[in-house]
Structure 1
């Protein structure tokens, strides 16, 4: 009897003891800015499950700290970097052009005017990869650590090269593959209903919108070739051999952790190794710091608004900042504005300027009424998670398309930075979203859809990273189509063969009929 009790106790202990995950050894090659913010959230989750993390950064790193409790670092010595000054220059020039341009000139600037900037950025990233692989001590250090996986953000192109050099399985924390939306590189993408970035199209396009979509698709490929492909190809050939094709290397990741989902994005064809983790950084709101809680509680029944233009926009032209502050001063709501520039002269008593704010916690607060946002992926998905309507002021890159997806579903209002300070457009947009219930109702509906999942986006992402480590890759999920030349993928050679065969058959039938007719006519002539 005593033995039975002991066996039962041991069995119960095994059942109740949580399973220990065997920790992996992960090399991380991140991007700077807001991309690092969401990558760091993934790293903290990996660390909590017992994985060892090593982050490769430059000595001029802007966001990525050299020391952190959840990762160690390898620091690469470089001469130049995509740092705060580089980004500030791009942002200020782009913002000035945006405010003074016409739609056509803005389109041309977005399509071609930024090519030099992008090329310089890719050259910096290529130099970073070269500096790492040229450093024999760092290469030996990486080889000695016997990593199980390389995790990278492919908005820049160095990660795939480093993974191939060290023979590591590759996982992408991805939304943009260099300058293209990641789906376009590996998944079937009918341009008839899949909008290209910067097109301003939804998935319901008129004929001329489809024409525009096709033109932009072709232009995006030309941009990639001009701005980046040859830069990374040279790095590939130097370290991986002359037979290495960078494009094939770039799309050969084992798992693509895509920072979107089909509540936010438009439904489209996908692939087995694309794992959706849209909103992975979102979580229930925590209590606010006391000074912020006191401020939002003082708003009474009117509630409060928050405004943030992201990590890259630290300040605005003085006239625009004053216009925004003057608009906020006319509202009965309290406003928390993340802004690092000089205090606007027109700032009202209802507006609090902060260098940083707990955005997710503010968006989850019961008194939140509206989010004024630039349209970055992180902020838009947090607004969707908490069901907060948005007034969007897109500035660069994918921001217009992000807000458009919410506006198309009735949860946001879009303003142009070029016209928001004219005719009280900013005030009218805020008042419309605050007073028209459909905006909040639509966002609440999207929030319910987004949260209704069998597993959280973060747990899904963690499972697939651990899957790759357990199985040394995920080659069985990679479609053969990505290794085929374009003419084979689209069956152009097959179509030409079939057309040729049909023409040959028709010619043969025609020739036989002609011969038959000639023979009949000849026989008839002899009888006559």
Structure 2
């Protein structure tokens, strides 16, 4: 009996200690695939005893109001730019443009022509941020930390408004890759997203890289001026500089690692958690297991174009379906559009699929993907080679990192339907063993870590909660104006000093020469 009492007391002690360690976490997420990976962090935090409060819009597409592991606070907004119909329309426009435009026109369309759309999205989130900041009940609540995705820029303002430590679940900081705003980033070997370059660039590519960086910076600063600086001045005072506020997070949980990303300088408060969403495969639902087992020794292919893409132009889907029908393998294709007439008996269309579990199945041979970070990290984790069909945003650049390492083949929308290019690419990756070998090598590198990426991320979130921030990890560069950071003022001062010395020396020599000449004249 004493043993039972002792065990019960020990269990109560453990549970009480766990509850005591739990904190209150405020979360400002964004939609689509960004919410999917944020949700994984939230479930893990909940399992460790933390209380989660999610801020969401009443027009939210992915973030549900009711959940077993978080409570939500919903804010009413007039409209939301980011929804399924908007993304489908955007996709079709970009596909049509890329298939019909010259490369230079496509570049201008993506960098300049799309700015209005990008600004519309940010304005929509600015309205949502205003609704949050106007809520007095939220200001009177007690939270230990704010967890935010800074692809939309309201998190930094909210953290300052509530006086909370700030942790970013990040890869993009509004318009650009987050490293560019906080870490030394030599453009000679760090390719700007959208450039389509590796870290080994020719002179012309470096020129292009610089131009694209300047365009990106102009876009980011325009968005900040139009949307977020106004919010700063309204809620934090006229002296608040959003550019400085934006980068002043305590911890950057970076959704990449140096198996996937090119090596580059970094900072003390950047924590790499690339592949944190990856995990060993679970058993498939019975209908999918029966389907893939029917592939025999050939194995199967999976195809998914990501969270945002529910359908595709009909001529492309007909071409893809016809190509799959010629293969001896089974195919599982995530697709919600109209059923292609050329679909073969070997292809199964599904609205949803357990992508991680399929990629971890022993019979999987190939992943046909759009190039989203989540999917590619899962492919790396499970060692599955990729045929890439990038659609927009960072997808081409993501796939390029795998292609550069010999683990992927990339097709463009402009040429995918010509000369059986799609079928040839699939067959090449299936038959050439180097693709699988290279991807499995990346998988071994990714898995060989002292601590799992998810556990590392959780540690640093809780670290910030325990210590009320991580100010000791923030470099002074975060608070320096650009001219001080790049020592422009020092260079100008030293240049002026040298010029002053030279002018003084010249004047002195001229005076000396003049005096000597006068003495000579007097003697004569």
Residues 421-454 of structure 1: CA deviation (Å, up to 9, x unaligned): 1000001111111111111111011111111110
User: What is residue 65 of structure 1 aligned with on the other side?
Assistant: 64
Match of residue 155, structure 1, among 125, 148, 151: 151
Q: CA deviation at 1:417?
A: 1.2
Report matched runs for 1:280-319 at 5 Å: 280-319=276-315
User: What is residue 86 of structure 2 aligned with on the other side?
Assistant: 86
> Scaled by the length of structure 1, what TM-score is found?
0.94
Contact in 1 for aligned 2:194/2:396 (Cα 8 Å): yes
Match of residue 381, structure 1, among 377, 380, 389: 377
Residue 127 in 1 paired to residue 132 in 2?
Answer: no
Q: CA deviation at 1:191?
A: 0.4
Rounded Cα–Cα distance in structure 2 between residues aligned with 1:395 and 1:131: 33
Residue 196 in 1 paired to residue 195 in 2?
Answer: no
Q: CA deviation at 1:353?
A: 0.4
Rounded Cα–Cα distance in structure 2 between residues aligned with 1:331 and 1:103: 32
Residue 232 in 1 paired to residue 201 in 2?
Answer: no
Report matched runs for 1:99-498 at 5 Å: 99-135=99-135, 139-140=136-137, 142-498=138-494
Aligned pairs, number: 516
Residues 357-391 of structure 1: CA deviation (Å, up to 9, x unaligned): 01011111111111000000000110011111100
Rounded Cα–Cα distance in structure 2 between residues aligned with 1:472 and 1:57: 25
Q: CA deviation at 1:227?
A: 3.7
Rounded Cα–Cα distance in structure 1 between residues aligned with 2:161 and 2:243: 15
Rounded Cα–Cα distance in structure 2 between residues aligned with 1:521 and 1:102: 72
Rounded Cα–Cα distance in structure 1 between residues aligned with 2:159 and 2:223: 22
Contact in 1 for aligned 2:224/2:242 (Cα 8 Å): no
- Compare 125-134 and 90-99 and name the one that shifted more: 90-99
Rounded Cα–Cα distance in structure 2 between residues aligned with 1:102 and 1:519: 71
Gaps of 5+ in 2: none
Residue 31 in 1 paired to residue 30 in 2?
Answer: yes
Rounded Cα–Cα distance in structure 1 between residues aligned with 2:414 and 2:493: 54
Q: CA deviation at 1:86?
A: 2.4
Q: CA distance change for structure 1 residues 443 and 465 in 2, over 3 Å: closer, same or farther?
A: same
Contact in 2 for aligned 1:122/1:228 (Cα 8 Å): no
Q: CA deviation at 1:522?
A: 4.2
Q: CA deviation at 1:104?
A: 1.1
Rounded Cα–Cα distance in structure 2 between residues aligned with 1:293 and 1:101: 43
> Scaled by the length of structure 2, what TM-score is found?
0.95
Residues 169-191 of structure 1: CA deviation (Å, up to 9, x unaligned): 11110011111000001111100
Gaps of 5+ in 1: 1-5
Q: CA deviation at 1:515?
A: 3.2
- SS of the equivalent of 2:167 reads strand
Q: Pairwise CA RMSD of aligned residues?
A: 2.0
Q: CA deviation at 1:107?
A: 0.5
- Compare 504-513 and 494-503 and name the one that shifted more: 504-513
Q: CA distance change for structure 1 residues 395 and 508 in 2, over 3 Å: closer, same or farther?
A: same
